[in-house]
Amino acid sequence: EVQLVESGGALVQPGGSLRLSCAYSGFSFSTYWMSWVRQAPGKGLEWVASISQDGSDKYYVDSVKGRFTISRDNAKNSLYLLMNSLRAEDTAVYYCARGGSAKGQFNCWGQGTLVTVSS
Amino acid sequence: DIQMTQSPASLSASVGDRVTITCRASQSISYSLNWYQQKPGKAPKLLIYTASTLESGVPSRFSGSGSGTDFTLTISSLQPEDFATYYCQQSYRTSYTFGQGTKLEIK
């Protein structure tokens, strides 16, 4: 069974940092694009970042460029999101998602981890 | 960025009804359009990709159509478990963008 499990969400002060992790099981992790998608409380979905199978290509939504870094460790079957200079508007549930037949499709999702940015 | 606009924002329907949700892209995205279903407190679930291909395990009452800028999601006969929020999403180019969602409620 394919499973993605996020961790690392927490309450953090504005300007702080946090690293999210996503552990997978049940599929060949290194053959898929992986992404982070977030959802602010009561709001819609927003794509945050994507990373290629070998980690050489990375894309970000403009609002997080220069602050967030997506990475992966295929040997540890893990995806990461390092978030710096956090703002109140980064408050959201963060989902990791596996790419589908095209890199921008998301055909398997974790349960999400909540990041709250507040003083 | 490519903007995705869904309509309606909310919809009330009854079990057994046929329902259609539309999604419009601000520029042509060919067939690079996906549909997701999300229930409260749960992660989204991929229903349809590349405009009309049903994801494995998704009931055949769900169908998608369209190309270019205009797309539709149709549920042929609503079941109780279909009441949820539906999102379209373009995978044509980054930044990948979602529609604002359509909340499907029981009448």
**What's the Cα-to-Cα distance from B42 to each of A3, A34, A113, B97, rounded to whole Å?**
14, 19, 11, 20
Give chain A positions within 8 Å (CB) of B96: 35, 47, 50, 104
Across the interface, which of A35, A59, A109 has its CB nearest the CB of B44? A109
CA atoms of B50 and A117, how far apart (whole Å): 36
The torsion angles phi and psi of B67, rounded to 5 degrees, stand at -165, 160
A58 → chain B, closest CA residue? B94
Q: Name the 3-class secondary structure at A119.
A: coil
Q: Do A112 and B43 touch (CB under 8 A)?
A: yes
**What's the Cα-to-Cα distance from A34 to each of A1, A61, B104, rounded to whole Å?**
17, 15, 29
Q: How close, in Å, is residue B100 to chain A by CA atoms? A: 6
Q: What is the pLDDT of residue A65?
A: 98
Q: Do B92 and A104 touch (CB under 8 A)?
A: yes
Structure tokens at A47: 């794509």
Tell me the per-residue pLDDT of A32-84, one tens digit each, with 9 for 90 and over.
999 999 999 999 999 999 999 999 999 999 999 999 999 999 999 999 999 99
Burial of residue A4 (CB within 10 Å: 0-12, 13-18, 19+) is: buried
Which residues in A46-82 are b (16+ Cβ under 10 Å) and which e? bbbbbbebeeeeebbbeebeeebbbebeeeeebbbbe
The verdict on A111 touching B (C-beta cutoff 8 Å) is: yes
B47 → chain A, closest CA residue? A107
Mind listing the pLDDT tens digit of every residue in chain B (107 residues)? 999 999 999 999 999 999 999 999 999 999 999 999 999 999 999 999 999 999 999 999 999 999 999 999 999 999 999 999 999 999 999 899 999 999 999 88
Q: Do A104 and B90 touch (CB under 8 A)?
A: yes
The verdict on A27 touching B (C-beta cutoff 8 Å) is: no
**What's the Cα-to-Cα distance from A14 to each of A18, A62, A83, B81, rounded to whole Å?**
11, 19, 11, 39
Q: Do A104 and B45 touch (CB under 8 A)?
A: no
